[in-house]
Amino acid sequence: MRAFSYFSDSGVDVTSLENGTPRKTGESRLALGGICKTRRHKTGTYRASISDQHPGLQERNLQVWLGEIDENTFHNIDDPNSERREKNIFVGLTNLGATCYVNTFLQVWFHNLELRRSLYKCQNSRAQEHNIDSDYEPQSICEHLQYLFALLQNSNRKYIDPSGLVKALGLDTGQQQDAQEFSNLFLSLLEETLSKEKNPNLQNLIQQQFCGQFFYVTICNQCGRSSTLPSRFYELELNIQGHKNLTECITEFLKEEKLDGENRYFCENCQSKQNATRRIRLHSLPPTLNLQLMRFVFDRQTGLKKKLNTFINFPEQLDMEPFLERKLDQKCVYELSAVLIHRGISAYSGHYIAHVKDALTGDWYKFNDEEIEKMEGKKLQLGIEEDIAETGKTQSRKPKCSKGYHCSRNAYMLVYKLQEEESSDSLRTNVEVPSFLQKLVDQDNHKFEEWCMEMANMRKLSVDKGRAKHEEVKELYDLLPAKDGEPYEFIPLDWLKKWLDDSTATKEIDSSIFLCSHGKLHPDKMGEIKRVSLQAAKLLYERYGGGPRLDGSSLCRDCVSERCRVLRLKKQLDEDYKEISNLVKRMPSSEGYWVGKASLRSWRQLALEQLEEDDDESRHSNGQTNGQGPHTNNKFGLDVSGGAEDETETFNEDIICNHGGLSILEAERKLVSTEVWTKLREYFPKAPEFPHIQEPCRQCLTLEQEEKDNEAVSKMMALDQKNQLLNLFHEKNRPTLIKWPQGTDRLYIVPLFFVEEWRKFIRRPTKSSPVSNVGNSLLLCPHGGFMFTYDSLINGEAQHIALLWPNEWEVISRLFIVDKPIVIHCVRQTTPDSSTTLYTTQPDLCWECRESFLFQQQRDLREYTQATVYIRKVIEDKMTAKDGTPELNACSSEAEEEREELPKVDGDKDPDFSQSQDGAKRMKLNDSCEASAATTSGTSMIKSGGIRRSTRHRKLRGEKALIVSANQTLKELKIQIMHAFSVAPFDQNLSIDGKGLTDDSATLGSLGVIPECIICLKADEPVTDYAAMDDAYQVRMPEEGFKGTGLLGH
């Protein structure tokens, strides 16, 4: 039978278990994976036994332990010598996250021998007096550079950590910054720090190395007067757009510029603005010439930076003499000493590396954070640094370069050194680390050597333990396989796997998890254990301990029988289900038993779940015994002692009322034959039984009659109230405040919430509760004063109230409980000259609470978070929606308004009074709608300056909602709009009620942007190249640069 196939591979004759006695079929096959009948080779036997259950375990475990020994498998510790500096290779710098731009400049400045030599001369009393027993912690920028340069020069490490300097500068290690800006700010900071040195040769070090001078020469076209303005530079910023080589870039930098129109020049000789020409004249050049290639430019369409991936050709030797107007005595030939590279297509991401020429040997090196690579043949090789992903359809090809030239589309800075005559003076070429710094370097090298020795010792210890384990495995391996006919025991397979995997300590053997509730070996755990010889098991338990020990006689007979019983019942269940289904379909008889229709539909699933629970208990119960084994108190031997309680809570309980009797709802129950009920009873012996003569619950019948009586009373009450207040119910002949009605000098005020709840009751008296209390306290302050003025009511706040005629108030006072009447009086004063009308309320207005209310209202409008605003795109002052038609008609029908049910209000916690003022401009309404809104005191009142947010926004087609906060800037909102409408921030013209929003740095709260308001978006020419917006999608927040860092003096 298929039901017993589960145990057929275990070597147990399950058919004999039904008779109460287990019997082995030949040699026991309970071992994991089976035992080979013929053992040609014990290695092959054991391999088959393991690999059958865990593919891959054989290769990892057996070949490692029995084959050639690889010492690296005994530990996971890298060779510490891999962290050691290689011979004739410079030291790298650790990338702390996004600090590659810092590392590139540090390497370039380190290879400036004059700069390094001079920095070593800076006074550093802290380093000179440092005790080697403690760690050295530099303080000033010069101290950090000294220590960092000394480590880069003589450290034994492959790379060092620059976190001390980065932390001192206050840089964010997770944010990539503009490399050029960092270079300028850092050199300025270093220049300021060196100016305070006592040594005069150090005070002007930065100027001597990097500073040159040019003149702005301006010539008036009218009088010919020439004006010269000197200026210093530390680098030349060269425009590369539209150029192919470095010479063209420098030529454009020095090109004459016309000053005309609004940019005219004020000539002191003419004493007026005149057309003029201006150009730059190079006067002097520094020993180190930094040429900044302007790859990162401002994109007018996106309002953000973008990168120019233009190929630029540059020479190894640069003769600057043609660009100098005043010929100098010395030569102006420069040699290329460094190329700084930015890899990546975006200005906001990518990676910085540096190619630097060793001033001593002339070899080129590539500095990529921790990795340093020496170029072959003493030539600059840009290599894969030029391989960037291009988004265009056609990729630009790299131009051919002449000898002595290089071409790059990623180089953003070129460093040239003034060519000097070869000198044998070692003092000019060699830079020695001062003794006080070398002492610190030696201290760090000593720590590194100690670490290397510690790692080597740990590796050796792990290898020694692994070798010992190897010998142990070899010894036990021959004993593990159990021979046919010999005694054996079971060992957990996971433990054996860990024993083979782990070269060090192994935990004791734990077999308790394989026991069933009877304390014997559970049949479902056979796949998780491995049969080994008795001798091998004895050695393993002696060395590692544990237990309990399991052998062939440990298999639980009761659990095997229970599993077979469950499988048999599952099959029987299918047969009973078909039979019961056929019996139920027959013509119903007048006798039988009541069964819930829901229970009748799901009885098979309920019975199956009970069998699964019994099966799970048999599978997973550990250390718990059930005494006499499974109960057999029903036909199929179902265990109902514990599980039956759960079944009686479900099956047929769907027709039990709250009083424990038969439900009065006949539609939810069905009369089945005695034969059907008998079969169901066998599965659910404790299910509630209701014969066909059983009467429904009398209490439920009584309650049902009472409910019908109450509904009749409610209908009569609703009809009576409706007839007395018919106009109020239908909203006909309603008084208004804008045009005071004739014939009365007073109107009564009640909360609109009361009227709406009353209308709900009138419409559906059997589904809604009757209204008993008017609740005018909702409109009063804690002092009992009225919260609204006549002007505020006619300007929008009337949406909170309903106006009543005096005769209607008399009816309401008689029908409902009134806590406090609220009356508004119209007093007309007539004099011979004029006539005035005054409006007063009773109770009087509480000015103190009114002002507090208005203050809180304005505060909410300025301090909101996560509020919704609507962006409406307009084209030529017309809405994008067809004819500006709302998706939902603003002047909706009465039935539509009635469907908008307001939330219930409890006491003073009326949400209408706790919300801040809504946006004043919701939607353009036609005149008829506005008139209708103005003359309605109920839900149809459209607010023009109210405070309630709950009024539904009628959104136009194409209008989009955005979530904003009051402290958010307009620029951040524009970025959100760009993502929603694909309109670049620069092309967005935003306005509210015709008032433009222009200050990008201002907050939305200060600009008057309030929750639920509508912002009109008018776009200039649309951006067709959406690839140009790629950078904008990466930058969600405005750039802050080096704000708040030590580079700006903070």
Residues catalogued as catalytic:
100, 351
Helix axes 435-477, 141-154, angle to 10 degrees: 50
- Rg of the chain's alpha carbons, rounded to an integer? 46
CB 506 within 8 A of CB 544: yes
How many other CB atoms sit within 10 Å of the CB of residue 205? 22
CB 511 within 8 A of CB 477: no
DSSP letter, residue 381: -
Tell me which residue of 257, 251, 211 sits closest to 230, measured CA to CA. 211
How many other CB atoms sit within 10 Å of the CB of residue 852? 12
CB 779 within 8 A of CB 799: no
Q: Is 913 helix (H, G, I), strand (E, B) or coil?
A: helix
Contacts of 949 (CB under 8 A, 6+ apart): 915, 916, 918, 1011, 1012
Query: CA 93 from chain center: how many Å?
Result: 31
DSSP letter, residue 59: I
Nearest-angstrom CA–CA distance, 170 and 66: 56
Tell me which residue of 299, 412, 291 sits closest to 354, measured CA to CA. 412
Preceding peptide of 832 cis, ω within 30°: no
Alpha-carbon distances of 380 from 22, 85, 337, 339, 574, rounded to whole Å? 83, 23, 10, 9, 81
CB 532 within 8 A of CB 541: no
Nearest-angstrom CA–CA distance, 304 and 810: 69
The CB-based long-range contact list for 809-812 (8 Å cut-off, 24+ gap) reads: 809/748, 811/724, 811/725, 812/725, 812/748, 812/750, 812/774
State both tokens at 899.
């469907």
Nearest-angstrom CA–CA distance, 1038 and 277: 37
Q: Is 9 helix (H, G, I), strand (E, B) or coil?
A: coil
Tell me which residue of 246, 379, 255 sits closest to 318, measured CA to CA. 246
Kindly tell me the sign of the dihedral angle through the C-alpha atoms of 979, 980, 981, 983.
negative
Nearest-angstrom CA–CA distance, 291 and 288: 10
Scan for tokens 């000097």, then name that residue. Answer: 420
Nearest-angstrom CA–CA distance, 488 and 537: 8
- Our separate counts of H helices and E strands in the chain read 33, 37
CA 335, 341, 346: angle at the middle one, nearest 5? 150
How many other CB atoms sit within 10 Å of the CB of residue 776? 20
